[in-house]
Amino acid sequence: MALEIVLRLDIAQESRPLSTEEQSLRDKLKRRILGLAVVERARKKQSSRLCNLKFGDANTRFFHRRANARCRKNFIYRIRKDQGWAYSHQDKAAEIQAFFGELLARPRPWQVDLMWDSIAIQQHDLSSLDEAFTDQEIKRSIDLLPGDKAPGPDGYTGAFFKSCWDIIKDDLMSTANAFHDLRCLNLQLINSANLILIPKKEGADAVCDFRPISLIHSFIKIITKTLALRLAPRMNEIISSCQSAFIKKRSIHDIFMTVRNQIRRYQRNKTPSLFLKLDIAKAFDSVRWEYLLMLLQHLGFPTRWRDWIAAILSTSTSRVFINGVPNPPLRHGRGLRQGDPLSPLLFVIAIDPLQKLLGAATELGLLSKLRGRASNLRISLYADDAAIFIAPTKKDVEALMRLLDLFGQASGLVMNFHKSSVIPIRCNGIDLSSILESIPARRATFPTKYLGLPLSNSRLQKVAFQFLIDKILGKLNSWNGRILTAAGHLTLVKSVITSQAVYLLSSLRAPKDLMKCVDAKQRHFLWAGMERLTGGKCKVNWIRSARPKACRGLGILHLARFARALRLRWLWQEWPSHSSASSPFDSNCTTTDRLLFCGSDNANSGRWCACFLLEQPMVARAKS
């Protein structure tokens, strides 16, 4: 309607001057239209989830297509019930509301408690965590909030708090200080969240196939972000070395290499063992609050900090959104909200005693000690991904099942054995059918997937890397590069396609054919925005494109060279003076890699100590 009025006024202006009222109305409507256009463009960009692209990198049409594609992908057309299907919105809403009402409800009274004294939980001096909030802390939390992510129930994004900090600072600090003093009588009014369902896989049709993501109220998000920033520097001393998730100075690649090398040691030394990959059912949503608060007390968290956590957890509510329509609010009785900045750290703390429980069982003789020099790793944890090594005996398997059941009843973190697997290592001649009778997990073989990477007890075949090409092709097929600018092509290549390959190359030595194929996919999308192209459309040689921008390149990574740089990191882990839990015996490094690192034919000579390098550069010694 506004556009129609502006159009009619423009037509009238061609034949006569507009009156003062008409001109004022036209200007007002014009400003309103332009403002709404900016808001709509921002909304479409937010819905497209392409955070790497700026407004100038693509037109609104591209964001519209991406947002519409995501809408189609996330739309819930039907829900599978115990008997039949739910097609109407009312039936789907009732089924989903009942599922999450049961999932988030308060569990039965706590009947099983961990033997805290026997598992040796170490206390820490964490008294500094409950100090008063400062302006600098709150401002830092706001600065770290993404400005264009989807808002919570209050509708405020990070961009609002950043731009209006000087105006709202006093009110915000007053509310934060009230929370610090535990004046939380009406905290439930601002501790709500919108629960958005994201499909975990293609064709998701059961409620359990959707991942609930909480878009929480902005004030609670700022508070929990502040608490997370306080806690993060202390996590390294609180959490055992077998856990690598959400902890600074620890890497997912370290834990992958540690597990892989232990498997290969057992294979090479002919040591019989069982490797269990365990899946935790609804991990974040099932943590018992009583267990978590008791664990925080044993770890030495101050009383005020525990009261903060209890207040945030006990007053939380969520409304499940089904195709954009909210359901009635649900009151939480357990679990940690995915989307809360503090939840990952609390979950890592909650699952860490499992390692201590297995260690105590080993000391008491309930579990056999691992044989060989790789016996330092019983369990590997990355968030809710657990991998356990045990001896292939009926006694050990039954003891492990009892321990997992005990931990599940105490913490709420119950294993989902339907999605778990057990893989034998050098178990030839052992009756595994009898031994694994008490484990309802499927029996698998190598190679398998662990932490998103192919894991094997021997050298990987080329077919094991095909998943990377399939993943890149899936990304390319979801983009329409022809409506993107050249800058948009470059941004997506560097931030999305390259990152897919770098994650794999950080741990594994990929075949040269694979890296050439990935380079080809990047080159095709960069110059033509499509999956394939002819050489005539390439404006610059690929080697030159892969140079740094300071050297007149585009800053794209040359995968073969960058993969070598990533592999050299593992040689640093092998350095005698460097202590690391990973310390891999097989770092996938070639002789040329070792020459680049050491600077001499002696594998133990440091490159900084090789005086002859002043006369003969390392590059001359490495035949690349």
Region 503-508: what's the mean pLDDT?
90
Residue 27 CA to its chain's centroid (Å): 47
Q: Mean pLDDT over all residues of the chain?
A: 84
pLDDT, mean of residues 382-402: 94
Beta partners for 86?
A: 79
Q: What is the pTM of this model?
A: 0.84
Say what the pLDDT of residue 545 is: 85
Band (526; pLDDT cuts 50, 70, 90) = confident
Mean pLDDT value of segment 278-292: 93
- Report residue 479's pLDDT band, with 50, 70 and 90 as the boundaries: confident
Name the percent of the chain lying above pLDDT 70. Answer: 85
Residue 145's contacts (CB-CB under 8 Å, 6 or more residues apart) are 157, 158, 161, 162, 221, 222, 225
Q: Which residue has the higher pLDDT, 407 or 530?
A: 407
Burial of 247 (0-12, 13-18, 19+ CB in 10 A): middle
User: Which pair of tokens denotes residue 436?
Assistant: 């694994």
Q: Sign of dihedral through CA atoms 217, 231, 359, 254?
A: positive
Q: Residue 432 and residue 146: Cα distance in Å, rounded?
A: 51
Lowest mean pLDDT among 186-195, 353-362, 488-497, 580-589: 580-589
So what's the pLDDT on residue 481? Answer: 60
CB-based burial, 119-156: b 16+ in 10 Å, e otherwise: bebeeeebeebbeebeeebbbebbeebeeeeebbbbeb
Task: Please tell me the distance from the alpha carbon of residue 146 to that of residue 45, in angstroms, as a whole number.
Answer: 14
Instruction: Note the pLDDT tens digit of each residue in 76-90.
Output: 889 998 888 999 999
The sign of the torsion formed by the CA atoms of 226, 232, 238, 243 equals positive
Question: Which CATH class, in words, describes the domain spanning 258-281+349-455?
Answer: alpha beta
Euclidean distance between the first and final Cα of the chain, in Å? 67
Residue 298 confidence (pLDDT): 94
Q: Are strands 442-443 and 421-425 parallel, antiparallel or unpaired?
A: parallel
pLDDT surpasses 50 at 192? yes
Burial class (CB in 10 A: 0-12, 13-18, 19+), 551: exposed
pLDDT of residue 565: 87
Higher pLDDT residue, 535 or 617? Answer: 535
Nearest to 328 by CA among 71, 90, 624: 90
Interval 244-259 mean pLDDT = 90
Helix axes 394-411 and 353-363, enclosed angle (nearest 10): 140
Tens of pLDDT, residues 90-138? 999 999 999 999 999 998 887 778 888 888 889 999 999 999 999 999 9
Query: Residue-wise over 253-284: b if at least 16 C-beta within 10 A, else e?
Result: bbbbbbbbbbbbbbbeeebbbbbbbbbbbbbb
**Rounded Cα gap, residues 316 and 414, in angstroms:** 23
Lowest mean pLDDT among 18-22, 38-42, 463-467, 594-598: 38-42
Considering only residues 616 and 327, tell me which one the structure prediction assigns the higher pLDDT.
327
- Is the pLDDT assigned to residue 318 strictly greater than 90? yes
- Of 248, 255, 133, 126, which is closest to residue 182 (Cα–Cα)? 133
Structure tokens at 24: 């004022």
Distance CA 157, CA 141 (A): 13
Answer for the pair 187, 180: CB distance below 8 angstroms, yes or no: no
Stretch 419-436: mean pLDDT: 92
pLDDT at 574 over 80: no
Look at residue 53 and tell me whether its pLDDT is greater than 80.
no
Rounded CA-CA distance 248/251 in Å is 8
